Amino acid sequence: MKMGLKSNIRLYGMYISVILRSTMQYKLSFFLMVTGRFILAFNGFLAIFFLFSGFTRIGSYSFEEVLLCFSVIQMSFALAECIGSGMKVFTGIVRRGEFDRMLLRPRSPILQVLGTRFELGRLGPMITAGITLLIGIQKGQIVWTAVKIMVLFVMIAGGTLLFLSLFILGASFCFFSIEDGGLLNILTYGAKEHGKYPVDIYGKRFMQICTYLIPYTLIQYYPLQYLLGRTDRWVYGLYPFGTVVFAFLCYIVWLFGVKNYKSCGS
């Protein structure tokens, strides 16, 4: 029996509500967790700040422009981790036989996996990203218009979808190996670190990989060029919508994995 989108959204809201109530039973622990992750994420900003204390530009980009890029990637990754933490622990779900029970329920398995965890601690990196984004906006030379503000939000939304898709892709590998492998960590955590700076500073070959293999440039480099006024091609601002195609492909891999899933026997 298939359930509607509205029903699934309501169910996911209930999952989050349960996790929120559970987490807030230990308010001090929650506060310390958010504070710790805020400090850890803030170190990324300090690294950029001290780097620019010795250089005026990285490639062709100023401090404020790099800060804008850093903020978008950090916010996107934090949101994706908050929503998709269940996919990051999918190996354990399969090993313990919990996924077998999920398949018996009249609900989407992917929704149930996402509902197993909701990382409230990611509020720390989100706060860091918000602060650095405001600094980049206030000190930058961008002439903000309604269109450019919309492009900024689309970049963050597209980045969130991209990283969430990668988490789903990594979880899909568990259907075949019971391990998600370290490759996806390179594509997610590695991208978060390298994504502090516009992709083109790493060279043409890296640009090609980040365009045709894992489309980071769609949510970072191309729309950023439009925001910074380096191109008049407004269509660059629509490039983050291309992550929908990548998400669909990752979902197809997930469905293929579910179709060929065999219980691990736990």
Write out pLDDT tens, residues 92-136.
Answer: 888 888 888 888 888 888 988 988 888 877 888 899 899 988 988
Amino acid 1: pLDDT:
41
CA distance 17 to 152: 29
Q: Assess if residue 204 is contained within a domain.
A: yes
Residue 126 belongs to a domain: yes
CB 210 within 8 A of CB 55: no
With bands split at pLDDT 50, 70 and 90, how would you rate the model's confidence at 41?
Answer: confident
Domain-located, residue 59: yes
Residue 265 falls inside a structural domain: no
Q: Which two tokens stand for residue 58?
A: 């990285």
Domain extent for 122: 5-259
Q: How many domains does the chain have?
A: 1
Q: Could you give the CA distance from residue 264 to residue 94 in angstroms, rounded to a whole number?
A: 7
Per-residue pLDDT tens for 156-196? 999 999 999 999 998 888 888 766 556 677 778 877 778 88
Q: What pLDDT, on the 0 to 100 scale, is given for residue 2?
A: 47
pTM of the shown model: 0.89
Q: Please check whether residue 195 lies inside any domain of the structure.
A: yes
Within a domain: 266: no
Q: Are 220 and 195 in contact (CB under 8 A)?
A: yes
For residues 163 and 84, the answer to whether their CB atoms sit within 8 Å is: yes
Token pair for 125: 């990196």
Q: Is 264 contained in some domain?
A: no
Where b means 16+ CB within 10 Å and e means fewer, 187-225 reads bbeebbebbbbbbbeeeeeebeebbeebbbbbbbbbbbb
> Is a pLDDT exceeding 70 seen at residue 265?
no
User: What Cα–Cα distance (Å) separates residue 70 from each residue in 44, 92, 104, 155?
Assistant: 9, 32, 42, 12
Lowest mean pLDDT among 62-66, 135-139, 238-242: 135-139
177 falls within a domain: yes
- Percentage above 70 pLDDT, the chain: 95
